[in-house]
Amino acid sequence: FPAGGGNPCTAEVAFSPDGDRGMTCAQRTCTLWRVQDHKLFQQRSATEGVSVQSVVWSPTGDRVLTTFVPRGVKESSRVVVWGADTGDESWRVVLAPKPQ
């Protein structure tokens, strides 16, 4: 679907293993939802200049892992782990390509 200015945006959706929560990510914003009442639980935005690459829930449903890719530099990714109960970021790392 088009974002502002007509550029396509990356969108990712993933549901918790129990189906109670969902995380949607578009461009650089990730939103944690309660599925039953469609209520926004938490929302976080990454730094400017990155796009969402993927969203995955942990098997126990207590964490969500997201990856972000800098626009124009696809060799590096940022991995962020979110606490599913709080929506707080619990871990972050930037993965850089191996030097040649």
Q: What six digits make up the tokens of 64?
A: 């969500």
Q: Which is higher by pLDDT, 5 or 79?
A: 79
**According to the model, what pLDDT value does residue 57 have?**
94
Instruction: Report the mean per-residue pLDDT for the chain.
Output: 77
- Whether 3 has a pLDDT exceeding 70, the answer reads no
**According to the model, what pLDDT value does residue 8 have?**
45
**According to the model, what pLDDT value does residue 7 have?**
43
pLDDT in tens, 13-30: 899 999 999 988 887 788
**According to the model, what pLDDT value does residue 2 have?**
36
Q: What are phi and psi of 22, to 5 degrees?
A: -135, 150
**According to the model, what pLDDT value does residue 48 have?**
62
- State the SS3 of the chain: CECHHHCECCEEEEECCCCCEEEEEECCEEEEEECCCCEEEEEEECCCCEEEEEEEECCCCCEEEEEEEECCCCCCEEEEEEECCCCCEEEEEEECCCCC
